[in-house]
Amino acid sequence: MQMIRDNNWVLSVGTFLPMLGVLVLLITPKANEAAIKMVALLTSIATVLVGVFTLVNFDFDQAGSMQFVAQTDWIPVIKSTYFIGVDGISLPLYLLSMVVTLLVVIYSLDHIPSPGNPKAFFVLMLILQTGMAGTFIAQDLILFFVFFELVLLPMYFMIGVWGGEQRQYASLKFFLYTMFGSALMLVAFLAIFFKTGAESFAIPYLVENGAGIAKNVQVWIFAGMFIGFAVKVPMFPFHTWLPDAHTQAPTQGSVILAAILLKLGTYGFVRIAIPTLPDAAIEWAPWIGGLAVIGIIYGALGCLAQTDMKRLIAFSSVAHMGFVMLGISTLTPFGVNAAVFGMVAHGLITGMLFFIAGSVKERYHTLEISKLGGMLTQAPQLGWILGLCSMASLGLPGLAGFWGEFPAILSAYNPADGLNVTVFRTYMVIAALGTVFAAAYLLWLYQRTAFGTPKGHDHHDVHDVNTYEWVAWMPLLIAIVAFGVAPNLLFSIIDPAVQETLRAFGG
């Protein structure tokens, strides 16, 4: 794939700007909360502006090729370089991470979860931002790994310090799980490095030479990566950290977790595992697909069993990422396009849902579905937004969710050459049934929370959506609708890149 190197400073700036903010925050006195919030806000705004600049200068006619590429020595000894760039796959996620962070910051301006301490909170959030953005632009396995891990600690603390009752258990679980995955992932990275002649960790190079590795070796290396990424996605049966983490995390944490962190895993599959190890990918695809559909049904059932709104949304992520993984497992441009679109869509929608859950918690002081109800009478705007997001989440055409879901199902009808068609068609039908379940649990949730008459007594805190929330949510809502109505806004960027990525499969 050819590289476009002009403006090669943009990405670095966009990625590390938050760190600048962190430094400033560190020297701002803890007491002066207004200043702290202002710094955080400005930093994230600046970051987004850089992102916009990136977007504007992105050459959409060559979305398939790496752009803004920068490459310099980093750790010469192990032949690892500071090598970054974006193509049509990374760009949307890269920007998404920036925007989501900004929105979360805005939301946090008047929603600092207990026990307060905005300074630490924003510092962590900005570090997180750097890690996320970095992961999406890294073109070098080691660099990728470093960024990939960089997000762990901040999220660990975000959950552990600002989370719910079970926070300590949840955060530790989250951490150990992810770490377990990434440790094996690192081993796999090294293995592929040596098997390709210990020349370079650069992903393009590995894509060139990875195919040369003997198949059985590939399969093992892929196994390592698979665990690493599957934990992050999370795929059944590595998902159990997710409900706890999501449920216990503060709203902001859940939003970032859902909107971006989960994408690191799927992105890893699309960017690294599959292109570098095509033969192994073919071998693994049926299993991945299988786990994906299991995840779809399983997650849906999990949702149906929930009594806690937030936990339900968390479980729905398992199901939705199942669709994404199904798309990926087909190894066809069609499926992977769907998957990448699905990542963005899920980021927007589920992020939004978690925002809502947070606001509900703040208003009703509970997320027990049985204790909620009649939201539409007390906070109609909130209720309708919840409605919209549920609809989007259950894959209603005309909203973003649909474009991740339907094409994914569609693509399973004929997967890439070398994959068993019958198996994947079975998957297709199961996945299609999954959509019904999705409708089931989401509408059921909606019916029980929004409809009916208000339950309980103390509703004096129950007020409708306030300005901060509107500002923080509006972009997401607009995006949900916009991408739903005009999906080509994304597809036109993703598609060339995906085809480039899947060249090994004659995609």
Partner 1 sequence: MTLLALSAAAWTAPVIDYHALAPEIVLAVGLTAVLLVDLFTSERNKWLLSVLTGFSLLGATLPVLTLALHDNSVRSIFDGRYVVDEFSLVMKGLFLLAGYVIVLLSSSHVEEGDYWRGEYWFLLLTSLLGMVMMASSRDLVSIFVALEFLSIPAYMLAAWRKRDLRSNEAGVKYFLLGVFASAVMLYGMSLLYGVADSTLLVDISKSIDLDGEFAAVQALAVVFVVVGFAFKVSAVPFHTWAPDTYEGAPTPVTAFLSVASKAAGFIALVVLVLTAFPEGRDVWQPFIWVLSALTMTIGNVFALRQTNLVRMIAYSSVSQGGFVLMPLAVAGGAAGEAALRAVVVYLVVYAATNLGMFGVILAVSRKTRSGDIASLGGLFSYAPALGVLLTIFLASLAGIPPLGGWIGKFAAFQALLTDATPWAYALAVIGAVNSVIAFGYYGNVMREVWMRPVPHGDNTPIVTPSSLQIALGITAIATLVLGILPGVVLNFGDMADLVGAFGG
Partner 2 sequence: MFAASEVLSPLRDGWFLQNAWLAPVIPTIGFALIILFGKRLPKKGSEVGVLSMLASLVLASGAAWQWIQRVGGAGEEQFVSPVIRTWTWWQSGGMEFTIGQHVDGLTVVVLFVVAFISTLVQVYSLEYLRGDRRYTHFFAALTLFSAGMLAMVIAEDMILFLLGWEIMGLCSFMLIGHWWEDGANSRAALKAFFTVRTGDVGLLVGISILFFAANEWTTTNLGLSGFSIRGLSAWALSGEPNSTVILVAAIALFIAAIGKSGQFPLHTWLPDAMAGPTPVSSLLHSSTMVVAGVFLVARLYPVFFTGLDILGPSSNIIMIIAAITIVIAAALAFVQTDIKRVLAYSTVSQLGYMMLGLGAGAWLPAVFHIFTHAFFKACLFLSAGSISHSASHHSFDMKKDMGGLRKHMPITFAAWTVSTLALCGVFPFSGFFSKDEIIDNVGGNGYTFFMVVGLGGAFLTAAYMTRATYLTFFGEPRGASAGEHGESSHGTHPAHDGHDAHDAHAVHDSHDAQDSHDAHAGPHESGILITAPLAILAVLAIFSGLFNATPFGESWEYMKKWTEPRAAVVEESYSGGPGEAFVVPAAESGYGESPCGKETPKDGVCYAPQLNHAKFKWSKALLSLAIVFAGIAVSWVVSAALYGRRDPRLVGLTQRNAVARSGYQLLINKYYLDHLYERGVVSFIVGPLARGAYWFNQQVLDGILHGVARVSRVVAQVVYRDIDQRLVDGAVNASADVTKAAGTTVQPIQSGRVGHYGALLFATAAVAALVFVILNT
Angle at 174 between CA 172 and CA 175, to 5 degrees: 65
Q: Does 429 bind partner 2 (CB under 8 A)?
A: yes
Contact between 412 and 427 under an 8 Å Cβ cutoff? The reply is yes
Query: Could you identify the residue written with the tokens 């090994």?
Result: 504
C-beta of residue 256 within 8 angstroms of C-beta of residue 104: yes
Cβ atoms of 221 and 286 within 8 Å: the answer is no
Q: Cα separation of 392 and 244, whole Å?
A: 24
Identify which of residues 35 and 179 has a Cβ nearer to partner 1 in the complex. 179
Any contact of residue 407 with partner 2 (CB under 8 A)? Answer: yes
Taking the complex as a whole, how short is the minimal distance between the CB of residue 239 and partner 2, in angstroms?
8
The tokens of 333 are what?
């441009």
To which residue do tokens 């790994």 refer? 145
Residue 396 partner contact from partner 2, partner 1, none using kind-dependent CB cut-offs of 5 to 8 Å: partner 2
Query: Does 500 interact with partner 2 (rule: CB under 8 A)?
Result: no
Q: Which of residues 168-207 bind partner 2 (CB under 8 A)?
A: 173, 177
For partner 2 (CB under 8 A), the number of binding residues is 61
Rounded-to-integer distance, Cα 98 and Cα 270, Å: 21
| Contact between 420 and partner 2 per CB under 8 A | no
Of partner 1, partner 2, none, which one does residue 146 interact with (CB within 5 to 8 Å by kind)?
A: partner 1
- Considering only the stretches 90-98, 119-127, 150-158, 441-449, report the one whose residues sit in contact with partner 2 under the rule CB under 8 A: 441-449
Contact with partner 2 (CB under 8 A) among 42, 75, 305, 478: 305
Cα 200 to Cα 187: distance, rounded to the nearest angstrom: 15
Q: Among 83, 136, 334, 364, which residue sits at the site for partner 2 (rule: CB under 8 A)?
A: 334
* 186/72 Cα distance (integer angstroms): 22
HSE-CB for 152 with a 13 A CA cutoff: 20
State the binding partner of 474 from partner 2, partner 1, none, CB within 5 to 8 A by kind: none
As a whole number of Å, the CA-based R_g of the chain is 21
- Point out which span in 28-36, 190-198, 203-211, 409-417 binds partner 2 (CB under 8 A): 409-417
Give the nearer residue to partner 2 in terms of CB position, either 213 or 430: 430
Q: Which of 291, 283, 285 is nearest to 218 (CA)?
A: 283
Give the interface segment with partner 2, choosing from 154-162, 225-233, 358-366, 448-456 (CB under 8 A).
448-456
Contact 308, 370 (CB under 8 A): no
Report the nearest approach of partner 2 to the CB of residue 290 (Å). 16
Q: Which stretch binds partner 2 (CB under 8 A): 53-61, 92-100, 285-293, 425-433?
A: 425-433
First to last CA, the chain: 15
Residues in contact with partner 1 by CB under 8 A are 30, 73-78, 117, 120, 142, 145-147, 149-150, 152-153, 156-157, 160-161, 167-168, 171-172, 175-176, 179-180, 183-184, 186-187, 190-191, 193-194, 198
With respect to partner 2, which residue has the nearer C-beta, 33 or 308? 308
* Residue in 329, 216, 222 with CA at minimum distance from that of residue 277: 222
Among 140, 469, 495, 500, binds partner 2 (CB under 8 A): 495
* H or E segment to which residue 67 belongs: strand 67-75
**In the complex, minimum distance from the CB of residue 341 to partner 2, in angstroms, rounded to a whole number:** 9
**What DSSP letter does each residue of 209-254 carry, written as one string?**
HHTTS-HHHHHHHHHHHHHHHHHHTTPTTS-THHHHHHHHS-HHHH
Backbone angles phi, psi at 98, to 5 degrees: -65, -50
Binding site for partner 2 (CB under 8 A): 173, 177, 236-237, 239-241, 298, 300-306, 332-334, 337-338, 374, 376-377, 384, 387, 391, 396-398, 402-403, 406-407, 409-410, 413-414, 428-429, 432-433, 435-437, 439-440, 443-444, 447, 451-453, 486-488, 491-492, 495, 498-499, 507
